Amino acid sequence: MTPGAALTAGALPGFGLVSAWRERALDLRDRLLGSAGFRRLALRLPLTRGIARRETRALFDLCAGFVYSQVLAACVRLDLFAALRAGPLTAAEVAHRSDLPEEGARCLLDAAVSLRLLARREGGRYGLGALGAVVAGEPGIAAMVRHHEALYRDLADPIALLRAGRGEALAAYWPYAGAADAAGLGAESVAAYSALMAASQPMVAAEVLAAVRFDRFRCLLDVGGGEGAFLQAVAAEHPGLRLKLFDLPAVVERARARFAASGLIVEATAGDFRTDPLPAGADAISLVRVVHDHDDATALALLRAARRALAPGGTLILAEPMSDTPGAEPIGDAYFGLYLLAMGRGRPRSAARLAELLTEAGFAAPRLARTRTPLLVRVLLARPAREASPSVNHA
């Protein structure tokens, strides 16, 4: 019996009784929260007033969340963060540069202040807020916001999306998701999503570099590496590491142009991992934001291919957002759940589920490396079964 199988309802004495009492407690909670009288009482009592107010605010934020996202989208589309990074502006100045009526500009500015995207300054001016300063300093965030226009179109009718199991706008943005012959995609088909991944990759790369000891590897193969932004980040810190990249032919063409412009030497191989073998010989293979784009069967085939391609003693580095991240559960199951549904392929997975796939693919039990921003990316490190534990940077 596995450790997981032991934790069943019949495996522990008294488990059924505890479960029954828990269900009764949850039923009572639901009845109380559904009572208008109880909610009014909770707002009057000092011990429950704070909790009641927080829950009310959380519920309102769920109702207003789309409006908040559109305030951010408007600021990004108007390049407002870049403009205010150069210095505070008045509402009239923002209206002039954005071709908005002053009343409309002020409405947007005040909304952005309430969301901590902007902050009021002296003389009736507006400057960057705490969150706006982050957006201004991370081009990848603005790129993600811009491309969310496609997701929002698919979510205009969420019931229709759930029934169809696939969107239209987002699936077109990621054409390989529905392509029977992904290797045959042309340069124009891959340009938008390749540029997006390249723009957003530095944030993820910094997390992975802080979690993994790349100085212990000789050769790194980045599978599904896009234009090579992750490899460029690795090379900046570990210039002696031999680098390889594997992706679709049209994507590799863009990567080669990027490497040539930067002078970085990378062995780039074109192919489709669903039908072509991965280049062999690397003692480290990275899958950065790749596995969650595919269903279980394809993900398992990819992991098995990585297992075959790894050099003896090699390490697989699997990095992506995971659905069981403490404190970030909505990002995994709500955001990525619906995003990947609209995309038409893939699913968010927990670290435990990914570990199961890795084990099935022939890897030993993986180790979860500690990342600084788990909601952005988590990292699993695995070696083929019967080999030693991989290297983790615990600094």
- Count of CA atoms in the C-beta half-sphere (13 A) of 263: 2
Residues in the chain: 395
Q: Is 8 left (phi over 0), alpha (psi -120 to 50) or beta?
A: beta
Q: How much is the average pLDDT of 202-228? A: 96
- Token duo for residue 131: 């969150």
What's the rounded Cα separation, in Å, for the pair 141 and 131? Answer: 11
CB 84 within 8 A of CB 128: yes
What's the rounded Cα separation, in Å, for the pair 231 and 226? Answer: 10
Please report the pLDDT score of residue 340 as a whole number. Answer: 93
Q: How much is the average pLDDT of 99-107? A: 97
267-318 pLDDT per residue, tens: 999 999 989 999 999 999 999 999 999 999 999 999 999 999 999 999 999 9
Q: Nearest CA to 225 among 319, 157, 148, 308?
A: 319
Cβ neighbours of residue 222 closer than 8 Å, sequence gap 6 or more: 228, 230, 231, 243, 244, 245, 246, 285, 286, 288
> 336: which DSSP letter?
I
* 120 SS3 class: strand
The reply to whether the predicted model has a pTM over 0.75 is: yes
Q: What is the CA radius of gyration of the chain?
A: 24
> 365: which DSSP letter?
P
- For 380, list phi and psi in degrees, rounded to 5: -110, 135
Please report the pLDDT score of residue 24 as a whole number. Answer: 77
Q: Which amino acid is at 277?
A: P
Q: Would the pLDDT of 1 be above 70?
A: no
What's the rounded Cα separation, in Å, for the pair 21 and 16? Answer: 9
Please report the pLDDT score of residue 176 as a whole number. Answer: 77
Q: Nearest CA to 70 among 107, 27, 31, 32?
A: 107
Please report the pLDDT score of residue 10 as a whole number. Answer: 43
Please report the pLDDT score of residue 388 as a whole number. Answer: 46
* Pairing label, strands 125-128, 89-90: antiparallel
221-246 pLDDT per residue, tens: 999 999 999 999 999 999 999 999 99
* 182 SS3 class: helix
- Token duo for residue 362: 């022939």
How many of the other CB atoms lie within 10 Å of CB of 149? 13
CB 309 within 8 A of CB 368: no
Q: Could you tell me the pLDDT band of residue 178, with boundaries at 50, 70 and 90?
A: low
Please report the pLDDT score of residue 32 as a whole number. Answer: 65
Integer distance in angstroms from the first to the last C-alpha of the chain? 37
What's the rounded Cα separation, in Å, for the pair 303 and 223? Answer: 11
